[in-house]
Chains A and B, each alone.
Chain A
Amino acid sequence: MQRVELQPAFVVHARPYRDTSFLVDFFTPDYGRLCAVARGARRGKNSQRPLLNPFIPLLISFQGKDSLQLLLSLESTGHGLPLTGNRLFSGLYLNELLRRVLSEWDSCPHLFEYYTEALRALAGDQDVEVVLRRFERQLLQELGYAIDWHCEAHTGSPLMADAWYRLEPQEGFIESAPDERGRYYLGANLIAIAEDSYELAETKRAAKHISRTLLQPLLGDQPLKSRQLFL
């Protein structure tokens, strides 16, 4: 039986379990995503309950033998990140993404840092789209699905600003003349995305499309539900 003390964590999702408990999905740096039972947390005046919500930085202690852990204690290390409106929906989108593509017990300290940064940026006043695109790229990179954002996939020569490219999810960007079928990206936009500069609306559109294409094989047939929330 392993016992883990004071591990930083965020709640990804909590759902009612039995009469008085919650089954909680946590995201931690050293243990990745894990599932723990918060026993008795749904009882009337339980002090854990307000903390079992997403977007609050926590320290958790848990123990267990197999995949399901027992939550021993939790405390918050700071204020919850106040997300409202579209920023709240974006936070839920990040959580749904984590839940769908991250397997349990897969340690990913970098991704935890990126996630924390993304939530802070959402709680601040950064452009929502830029925050989401950046996190999606970091997520793909940490999961080992990164593509080369600097070189053409077949020739290995650097991307050129005035050339057109198509995306092959397994390989990368391939230079080809645009036609009516399929989607083509201007080199300038790809270079801008690689440099994390999203000043043009066109760059944002390209980044969104590329993210969706790359995430598609990881998500399978079921679309992300949180996308429906954006009005």
Chain B
Amino acid sequence: MAESFNKMSSPEPTSSEQLVAFLDGELEEQERLAVEARLAADAALREEISRLEQAWDLLDTLPETEAGQNFTQTTVEMVAVRAAEEADPSSARAMVSRWGKRLALAGLFFGLTAAGYALVALRPDPNELLLRHYRIIKHLDALESIPDVEFLRKLNDPELFGEEESLVEFNGDAQSD
């Protein structure tokens, strides 16, 4: 019988595949009809396919495995525990990430605030310039009529009356304002 099968399979190496696929209902119509025709004509081939089928059916003798009564519950609990364990690091990472973002935003806010304050604080005050040259501006018309620069410098000398006079005048004006 086995020899017959080997003879059958020698010219066509796929014969065993065809027979098994035939048993499994996996052949296309044309192939199935061809195998059926060969089976009808070849008793040895019928014997061989019968052997294949019998051997396959013997697998049915193996006992089926059944899980214990608590298997479902223990499995679900195990999965829940493991999933929770695995979720912790990710939660921690997410928390770290969230806090990192918050800190970065806070840093950015304070940085911008400090930069703005510095810009405002360091910017030259136009009023300060006016105040510093208040005495000159006040007497500009009179000073413009003096062509001698050296004389103008002497007018500004505190030992004469430049600074003292200007301070008195300035303070007096400020108070009156």
A and B physically associate = no
Instruction: List residues of chain B with CB under 8 Å of any chain A CB.
Output: none
